[in-house]
Amino acid sequence: MPKNYMENIVDHLLPSILENFENICLCKQCLEDIKAFSLNHLPPLYVSTSQGYSYAKSNELDRQFKINVTQKIVEAIEIVQNNKRHDMK
């Protein structure tokens, strides 16, 4: 089963994006929903293991690509926070 490296890229970018948000829920469920939503709205990225590893770890990700992924993650955060699947704490 090939690995979708978009997942690594989302994992890589998510923490710094979350820092720009205040008063959002960062529980496991919301984080999982944010990731799932992002990945559902981004094209999967299947590459060979060694290539994928360096690609996902690289800070040299193409600028426009990074902007596109960041936009989807921001969208995901907003949608998940407006539709939390659990009660307010």
Distance CA 39, CA 53 (A): 18
In the complex, what is the shortest distance from the CB of residue 88 to Zn ion, in angstroms, rounded to a whole number? 9
In the complex, what is the shortest distance from the CB of residue 71 to Zn ion, in angstroms, rounded to a whole number? 22
Say if residue 70 is exposed, middle or buried (CB neighbours under 10 Å; 0-12, 13-18, 19+). middle
Amino acid, single-letter form, for residue 11: D
Task: Please give the residues from 20 up to 59 whose contact with Zn ion meets the rule CB under 5 A.
Answer: 25, 27, 30
Decide whether 59 or 83 has the Cβ nearer to Zn ion.
Answer: 83
Length of the chain: 89
In the complex, what is the shortest distance from the CB of residue 33 to Zn ion, in angstroms, rounded to a whole number? 8
- Residues forming contacts to Zn ion in the complex (CB under 5 A) are 25, 27, 30
